Amino acid sequence: MSVEAPEIIPIPEPEEESIAAAARRKLSSPWASGLVILITILWTIPTFGLLVTSLRPKDQAQSSGWWTAFTDPVFTLTNYAEVLTGGATIPGGITPYFFNSFAIALPAAIFPLVIATMAAYALAWIPFKGATTIFFFIFALQVIPLQMSLLPLLQMFNLGWSIGPIPIFPDLNQAGSNQSIFYGTYVPLWIAHTMFALPLAIFLLHNFVRQLPRELFEAARVDGASHFLIFRKLVLPLTVPAIASFAIFQFLWVWNDLLVALTFAGGTPDVAPITAYLANIKGTYGAQLHLITAGAFIAIVVPLIVFFSLQRFFVRGLLAGSVKG
Amino acid sequence: MEELTAGLTKVGTGVAAVAIVLGLLLLIFFIGARAKGRLQTPMAIVVFLGPAILLLAYGLIVPAFRTTAGSFQDAGGNDWVGLANYGWIFTAPGNSTFLINTVLWLIIAPVLSTALGLTLALLLDRMRRESISKSLIFMPMAISFVGAGIIWGLIYEYRDPSKQQVGLLSQVVMWLGIEDPPNWILWQPFNNFLLMIIMIWIQVGFAMVVLSAAIKAIPSDVVEAAELDGATGYRLFSKVTIPMIRGTLIVVLTTIMIAVLKIFDIVRTMTNGNFGTQVVANEMYAQAFVAFDVGRGSALAVVLFLAVIPLIVYNVVQLRKERTIR
């Protein structure tokens, strides 16, 4: 292949005497440290305020600032209990949506990566005419924003597509009702997220798969291994680090998504994720600060755990995937 | 307890779906591997590439054409109306709000995020222990726009000045001696900037991490040569550091611009586009899924598409240039 796929952003090897080290040696400045610490505090306060507010009793949370909690400390977990299980204010609670988010994000993080790895292997290591063109075409698809796809896709799931009399996607409406068999299931969400993730995932994994040593594949082919065997026994195991980085990134992306969720899930507790629920109660119960903050913290705690425990992978995925459209 | 069981069932559904899809793929692999002789390669191509091509065709390629076609049709998608929807976008009274706001977002948020990110990257380089600060400033990147909207909604919360304050911003302003802070979210046109601050809060960490990596990747001999020539401090920064990371700077800037162009969640969560804060992406959602005007919604999506193209092309050109330099 003659395509020189651009690496997204160079990930540096730590150097002995980089500009960083040189600067540190010469200019290690208390001013710089002070400024960074100040910005760090500024950047952390908003999230910290959310956490503190979510732990204060209803009356305090609604009538005084969270910073007063340090002079007059009253903390409680009742907000969390109420948000999780529901109550007079928010019937049903957040729990169903929390689990929906998992049920949406796990498959939606795995499907595109498996399919993209397969496509990346085919484009990189099965020699055939047009591979280069197809790769470039898929790469170019990144320019299509999500917004271009929403309406037609929704129409496809609900009504099917046909060109004249030739159906290209079946009408999945159940007989006698006006609802698609997909209605109230995660299927449209899984499919939509998978579709939208593919151009970037194929592009990045292609770059990775292409760099695997050629001798490996040649030796396996000489031994008579089929492409399927090579893929399962060689490509998949060797690609795991790359897949893991992008899977984490894609998981967070899906978990935090609102637009796709609102379009394909509606707001029902059956399938809607936690972001859709939060956006909803922010509008309806915005004054119930103690509940909104507890709900928001429940929603962000999963990405935060993923972020802090897997930060290395996350940074790698981000540096590679910074052009996600 | 009941809820937990129901919840675990849901997660189980997800896991089962993964198992089923992977199982199906294994089965197809098994069948595909039975192809012999000249069929081997075509079979492999179809099996490996087929699913991706099908999903892309149904998910992006056909929809792009349908949306483009829809943008020339009326609200119900029944009749062709020519350029009427585009005419509406750019000439209808009131629409200038979301057009101007989007342009403001597109300039202010990316420039400030990148500038602050660069400053932090440079400052962090001079610190001995950088990891905790870096993690904390980077953290908002993991938080959803909806979550960020709620976090900042708390900061912008308004209370009558005679009462105890709940929002941190009002309180700080009052501590500074301004006795009558405005109701921030309704405070036109400055409320737009308050929403942009949320985006900047999220994106600075991204800019910082990427730029910090680029600065660390500057070859040491370049720096040493410059230092031998007597370049220090600001001169080293402006004559060596900035030119060396110029490509990455542009990539960061355009990447944030692309994200800003499609900003939807923040505006929807904070104001739903009211109080003079509407932007193109949220107007698109409102037209397509609230007003059910397919024509206008599609036309707005096409406008976003056309605006994104030059950014991405420029982005990619920069990346390729950067690669050939290295």
Q: What is the pLDDT of residues A140-167, one digit of tens each?
A: 898 888 889 999 999 888 888 777 777 7
Q: Which residues of B touch A122 (CB under 8 A)?
A: 44-45, 48-49
For chain A, the straight-line distance linking the first and the last C-alpha, in angstroms and rounded, comes to: 26
Mean local confidence (pLDDT), A182-207: 91
Distance of alpha carbon B294 from alpha carbon B282, whole angstroms = 14
Nearest by CB to A64, which of B70, B164, B284? Answer: B164
Where in chain B do CATH 1.10.3720.10 domains reside? Answer: 87-325
**B73 bridge partner residues:** B80
Q: What's the pLDDT at B124?
A: 85
Q: What's the pLDDT at A19?
A: 56
Sequence-ordered list of residues with C-beta below 8 angstroms from that of A13, at least 6 positions apart, any chain: none
Is residue A248 in some structural domain?
yes
Distance of alpha carbon A304 from alpha carbon B74, whole angstroms = 44
Q: What's the pLDDT at B37?
A: 79
A215 near B CB under 8 A: no
Q: What angle do CA A119, A121, A124 make, to 5 degrees?
A: 105
Residue with structure tokens 């998949």?
A236
B34 near A CB under 8 A: no
Whether residue A26 is predicted with pLDDT greater than 60 in this model: the reply is no
Distance of alpha carbon A126 from alpha carbon A118, whole angstroms = 11
Q: What are the tokens at B60?
A: 């992006």
pLDDT tens digits, one per residue of B10-19: 999 999 999 9
Residue A300 belongs to domain with CATH number: 1.10.3720.10
Q: What's the pLDDT at A281?
A: 87
| Number of domains into which chain A is organized | 1
Taking CA atoms, B21 is separated from A158, B16, B60, B248, in Å, by 23, 9, 21, 39
Q: What's the pLDDT at B287?
A: 95
Mean pLDDT, chain B cut into blocks of 10 residues (326 residues total): 85 94 91 84 92 95 94 92 96 94 96 96 77 90 94 94 92 92 93 96 93 86 84 80 88 90 91 94 94 94 93 80 58
Q: What's the pLDDT at A92?
A: 81
Cβ B11–A256 below 8 Å, yes or no?
no
Q: What's the pLDDT at B292?
A: 92
**Which 189-208 residues of chain A touch chain B by CB within 8 A?**
190-192, 194-196, 198-199, 202
Look up the ipTM and state it.
Answer: 0.90
Cβ B268–A191 below 8 Å, yes or no?
no
Is residue A6 in some structural domain?
no
Nearest by CB to A145, which of B6, B10, B262? Answer: B262
Contacts 24+ apart (CB under 8 A), A225-228: A226/B32, A226/B33, A226/B40, A226/B44, A227/A121, A227/A125, A227/A126, A227/B40, A227/B41, A227/B44, A227/B48, A228/B29, A228/B30, A228/B32, A228/B33, A228/B44, A228/B47
The answer to whether B147 and A299 are in contact (CB under 8 A) is yes
Taking CA atoms, B236 is separated from A32, A55, A73, A291, B92, in Å, by 17, 49, 50, 51, 51
The answer to whether B43 and B36 are in contact (CB under 8 A) is no
- Residue B189: cis peptide before it, omega within 30 degrees of 0: yes
**Which among A6, A211, A191 has a CA at the least distance from the CA of A115?**
A191
Whether residue A24 is predicted with pLDDT greater than 70 in this model: the reply is no
**Which among A98, A232, A2, A151 has a CA at the least distance from the CA of B69?**
A151
A109 near B CB under 8 A: no
Q: What's the pLDDT at A4?
A: 39
Mean local confidence (pLDDT), A257-272: 87
Is residue A49 in some structural domain?
no
Residue-wise burial string across A40-75, b where 16 or more C-beta atoms lie within 10 A, e elsewhere: beebeebbebbbbbbbbebebbbebbbbbbeeeeee
A2 near B CB under 8 A: no
**Which 244-283 residues of chain B touch chain A by CB within 8 A?**
248, 251-252, 255, 258, 261-262, 264-265, 268-269, 272, 281
Superfamily for domain range B87-325? MetI-like (1.10.3720.10)
Cβ B13–A103 below 8 Å, yes or no?
yes
Nearest by CB to B21, which of A62, A111, A252? Answer: A111
A121 near B CB under 8 A: yes
What distance in Å separates residue B323's CA from the closest CA in chain A? 7
Cβ B29–A231 below 8 Å, yes or no?
yes
The answer to whether A67 and B175 are in contact (CB under 8 A) is no
Cβ A202–B62 below 8 Å, yes or no?
no
Chain B residue closest in CA terms to A65: B166
Is residue A21 in some structural domain?
no
**Which 65-94 residues of chain B touch chain A by CB within 8 A?**
66-67, 70
Is residue A7 in some structural domain?
no
Cβ B322–A40 below 8 Å, yes or no?
no
Sequence-ordered list of residues with C-beta below 8 angstroms from that of A194, at least 6 positions apart, any chain: A108, A111, A112, A115, B55, B59
Distance of alpha carbon B142 from alpha carbon A308, whole angstroms = 9
> How would you class B63 by CB atoms within 10 Å of its CB: exposed for 0-12, middle for 13-18, buried for 19 or more?
buried
Task: Give the side-chain half-sphere CA count within 13 A for B257.
Answer: 21
Cβ A151–B284 below 8 Å, yes or no?
no
What distance in Å separates residue B30's CA from the closest CA in chain A? 8
Distance of alpha carbon A203 from alpha carbon B49, whole angstroms = 13
Q: Where would I find the H helices in B238-293?
A: 242-244, 246-261, 265-270, 280-285
Q: What's the pLDDT at B77?
A: 84
pLDDT tens digits, one per residue of B118-165: 999 988 877 766 678 889 999 999 999 999 999 999 999 999 999 999
Whether residue A23 is predicted with pLDDT greater than 60 in this model: the reply is no
Q: What's the pLDDT at A300?
A: 95
Cβ B248–A8 below 8 Å, yes or no?
no
Nearest by CB to B315, which of A144, A252, A323? Answer: A323
Chain B residue closest in CA terms to A322: B255
Nearest by CB to B40, which of A12, A143, A226? Answer: A226
Give B82's DSSP letter. Answer: T
Nearest by CB to B62, which of A152, A191, A325? Answer: A152
A288 near B CB under 8 A: no
DSSP string computed for A253-320: HHHH--HHHHHHHTT-TTT--HHHHHHHHHHHSTT-HHHHHHHHHHHHHHHHHHHHHSHHHHHHHHHH
Give A180's DSSP letter. Answer: B
Q: Which residues of A touch B227 (CB under 8 A)?
A: 22
What distance in Å separates residue B231's CA from the closest CA in chain A? 12
A241 near B CB under 8 A: no
A-B contacts at Cβ under 8 angstroms: 413
pLDDT tens digits, one per residue of A163-180: 777 777 877 776 666 677
Strand (E) or helix (H) holding A163: strand A161-163
Cβ A96–B6 below 8 Å, yes or no?
yes
Give the three-state DSSP class for B194.
helix
Q: What's the pLDDT at A18?
A: 56
Whether residue A321 is predicted with pLDDT greater than 60 in this model: the reply is no
Q: What are the tokens at A316?
A: 């790698």
Is residue A299 in some structural domain?
yes
Q: Which residues of B touch A144 (CB under 8 A)?
A: 60, 64, 305
For chain B, the straight-line distance linking the first and the last C-alpha, in angstroms and rounded, comes to: 59
pLDDT tens digits, one per residue of A29-53: 777 888 899 999 999 999 999 999 9
Distance of alpha carbon A280 from alpha carbon A303, whole angstroms = 20
Is residue A24 in some structural domain?
no
Cβ A322–B139 below 8 Å, yes or no?
no
Residue A112's domain comprises 93-320
Chain A residue closest in CA terms to B264: A259
Q: What's the pLDDT at A267?
A: 66
